[in-house]
Every structure is written in structure tokens, then in C-alpha cells.
Amino acid sequence: MTHFPYVGGELHVEQVPVRRIADAVGTPFYCYSSATLADNYQAYVKTLGALGVGIYYSLKANSNQAVIRTLGQLGAGADVVSVGEMHRALKAGVPADKIVFAGVGKTELEMEAALEAGIYQFNVESFGELETLSDVAARMGVKAPVTLRINPDVDAKTHAKISTGKSENKFGIDIEQAAQFYSAAARMKGIRIVGLAVHIGSQLTDIAPYRAAFLKIAELAQTLRKAGLTVERIDLGGGVGIAYRDEATIDLQDYAALVKEIISPLGTKIEIEPGRSIVGNAGLLVSRVINVKAGVSRKFVIVDAAMNDLIRPSLYDAYHGIIPVAEPASDAPVERCDVVGPICETGDRFAEQRPLPPVKPGDLVAFATAGAYGSVMSSTYNTRLPAAEVLVRGDRFDVVRPRPSYDHIIGLDKIPDWLA
């Protein structure tokens, strides 16, 4: 986290003190570093650009308009899994011909909207979806550019809830049926079949599953070509993991070497769709300590952020570093604490028995590596106001999603006439 230094005893985001943002915006809030976003994106360009790999940022990781525009201006395309995300990408300035539409449950209305916009590619996940897309496209008098997402039955060795490449997962077309479906797609009136896609899961920290999946896709591409079918593109999905604590991760140079060895010889266009590895370590969730409660068997640090703001620890037992905004002394004592939020759920817990330096009510703490699957998965559970979002660039910051008011949230409901 190079762009989140302690300077003069205070945590900064680039050149901006976190405390200054907290005083201006209130807590909790998400804060993103433009420099980290750029560094992470450029790392992909540097290692894979020479191989002609197209980089399509996966919006599901963080779909804030300012984040999308920052990456779009650097040259990134967009990987979307809903028409809502497509509209976000378009409004942020990503051209339609740099948008890939993935996802297992596209509706006819979504297909129509994406075809009307003229997107680059649909990643199709079932034969039923393929038939529906063909019908919709034919009705509109166009052909949909399609890759078939293949399920290679490869264990990504990641969390069960984010594994997507095993035969029991809901995603993709079984690799044993792929040739039959690809051949059928080539004959469909509304389909222009252009290639294959694969995505075996998120937060991979071992390169071996990639090798297994890439070999299967390369072999399938060669089989299809021998049958006289055209394979122009290979979409390799995303999933390169990041370090939330001290775990080993995949070196992008090793990933690029694997692409060069297995996929590049096919002579196709190549696409990847990173999300977490671009935005994950670019963000903090900043919160204020409400109370420190000494229980019978443990100490609780109660903060003003909650599981509605950052659900990953509750949903996945995910780890996020917890950093005091005021730099602790090097010899400060540590004590094991449960860090919890105010929501009426026992699962509203960020950390259990985490060693922390002393904190007191009013102190600011930051949850590290919170730029991916943070705000984008938040809710208003318990009628809590969602965290604001802030973007920093150098010595400047701006609120890129204001905290809504209670009137705004409650005003989304409608009272029927008979209760008026």
C-alpha cells in the first residue's frame, strides 16, 4: 500500500491526511487512491500489453463512476454483468465497443439494450441463453458477437462462494458439450460466434489452476478449428488474487508467461477482466471508534462502520487489516479485541481476537484493502446511511458519492392510497 503512508504520525492517502477527510466528510467513508488505481492498471499494460491482451476492468469489483472514468481514461475497457453496469460504463466514458457483457442470467431486455448500444462481446453461459440471444438479435436485424463461456471443471482452490470453474458451479457450458454448442452457434441466424471464454474464480493465489484451465481451452480451440470453425478471440476472465494480509500471490510476470506459452500460439485476440487486483488495495474504509467494551471474556471495539458497509468479513470470513489513523508508537502494547459494528447481528464483526494497539472512543481506524467488493456490496440494512466515497489525487480529494440523507432513503418507499 505504497500510497497510504504515515506522514508526521498520521495516515495519509497519497498527500492527503485521512483525518482531514474525516473532518470534512464524517465517518464511515470509503477512500480511493487514484495513483494506486493507475499503478495497478499500468502493471497489467506493462506485463501483458506486448502480447496484445485487451484489459477490460470488471465493474462488479467497484462501480463508482469516478473509478470507472479514471481507468477508462487510462485505456481500460469494461466487463459488465448487468445492463445497469453497462450504463455505468457508458456514462463514465467507456465506449460500447470496449464493453464485454458477462453473467449467467441475462434477460431479453438486457440483450436488446446491449445490442442497441453495440457492445464488443457477449460471453454466453448456456445453450438456452444462446438461443434467446439469437432470437433477439435476429428480431433486431443484427448479429450478436458471442464467445461461449466454458466451464473447464478446474478447482480454483479459492473460497467456495467465489469459485466458478467447477462442474457443480452454475457458470459456463460444460467443456464436454462445448464443441456441439459452438457448431450450433455458428449456424444461428442472430449469432456471430467469435471465440471462447473461461473464468474459474476470484482471488486465485496459485497459478496451477490457470495452467490447467488454459490448456483445456487451448485444446478446445484447436479441436474447433480442425472442425472448420473460426475461433478469433480467447477471453481468460479475471481472478488474479491480491494480498489481504501476508499471503503469497501470483506474480503478473508469471501469469503473462503462461499466457504467452499456452494462449498466444493460437493467434487469437486475447482478453482479460481484472477487477479486485486493480481496485482492491486502492481503497480504505475509514471508521470512528464509538466505544470500547470490556466483556467478561473478551474486549469489543465498537466502530461506526458495520456489515452493511463492508460485508466481506461476515459473508466470507474475509480478513482486512485494521490500521489506526494516528500512528501507534513502535513499542505500543497490543491487546486482542473483537472489532464489531452497531448492527443487531452477531455476524456484524470485522475481526475476532485481532491484536490491536490501544484505541479509545473518537479514534479513527481504517480497514485496509477495501477498494473491491466494499461499497459496491453495501446496503441500508437497519436504515443505516451508506458510507460516502472519496477519491484522492495527489494533494486533492473530492466526494465521488455523497452520503444520502434519511429523507432520501425513506423517500424511496411509497405509501399506498389506502394508507394515506
Three-class DSSP labels, the chain: CCCCCEECCEEEECCEEHHHHHHHHCCCEEEEEHHHHHHHHHHHHHHHHHHCEEEEEEHHHCCCHHHHHHHHHHCCEEEECCHHHHHHHHHCCCCHHHEEECCCCCCHHHHHHHHHHCCCEEEECCHHHHHHHHHHHHHHCCCEEEEEEEECCCCCCCCHHHECCCCCCCCCEEHHHHHHHHHHHHCCCCEEEEEEECCCECCECCCHHHHHHHHHHHHHHHHHHHCCCCCCEEECCCCECCCCCCCCCCCHHHHHHHHHHHHHHHCCEEEECCCHHHHHHHEEEEEEEEEEEECCCCEEEEECCCCCCCCHHHHHCCCCCEEECECCCCCCCCEEEEEECCCCCCCCEEEEEEEECCCCCCCEEEECCCCCCCHHHCCCHHHCCCCEEEEEECCEEEEEECCCCHHHHHCCCCCCHHHC
> pLDDT for 24-43, tens place per residue?
999 999 999 999 999 999 99
pLDDT band at 295 (very low <50, low <70, confident <90, very high): confident
Domain spans of the chain? 6-32+280-410, 34-277
Identify the burial level of 53 via C-beta atoms within 10 angstroms of its C-beta, where 0-12 means exposed, 13-18 middle and 19 or more buried. Answer: buried
pLDDT at residue number 159: 44
pLDDT band at 157 (very low <50, low <70, confident <90, very high): low
**8 A C-beta contact, residue 237 and residue 165:** no
Q: 53 pairs with which residues across the strands?
A: 270
The one catalytic residue among 160, 344, 419, 420: 344
pLDDT (average), residues 85-94: 98
pLDDT at residue number 260: 97
Supply the mean pLDDT for the chain: 94
Determine whether 344 is an active site residue: yes
Q: Which of 147, 45, 65 is nearest to 101 (CA)?
A: 147
pLDDT for 56 beyond 50: yes
pLDDT (average), residues 5-13: 97
370 contact partners, CB below 8 Å, separation of at least 6: 30, 280, 283, 284, 285, 310, 320
CATH number belonging to the domain at 34-277, selected among 3.40.50.880, 3.40.190.10, 3.40.50.300, 3.20.20.10 = 3.20.20.10
pLDDT at residue number 171: 60
pLDDT at residue number 366: 98
pLDDT for 262 beyond 90: yes
pLDDT band at 161 (very low <50, low <70, confident <90, very high): very low
CATH fold label, 6-32+280-410: Lyase, Ornithine Decarboxylase; Chain A, domain 1 (2.40.37)
38 contact partners, CB below 8 Å, separation of at least 6: 70, 74
pLDDT for 296 beyond 60: yes
pLDDT (average), residues 305-328: 96
pLDDT for 163 beyond 50: no
pLDDT at residue number 416: 96
pLDDT at residue number 154: 80
pLDDT (average), residues 88-113: 97
Most confident of 104-108, 119-123, 243-247: 119-123
> pLDDT for 404-416, tens place per residue?
999 999 999 999 9
Cell of 112: 436488446
pLDDT (average), residues 103-112: 95
pLDDT (average), residues 373-402: 97
Q: 55 or 202: whose pLDDT is higher?
A: 55
Which CA distances in Å does 350 have to 312, 313, 327, 373, 375? Answer: 9, 6, 20, 14, 15
pLDDT at residue number 225: 97
pLDDT at residue number 97: 98
State the Cα angle at 43 between 205 and 114, rounded to 5°: 85
pLDDT at residue number 164: 43
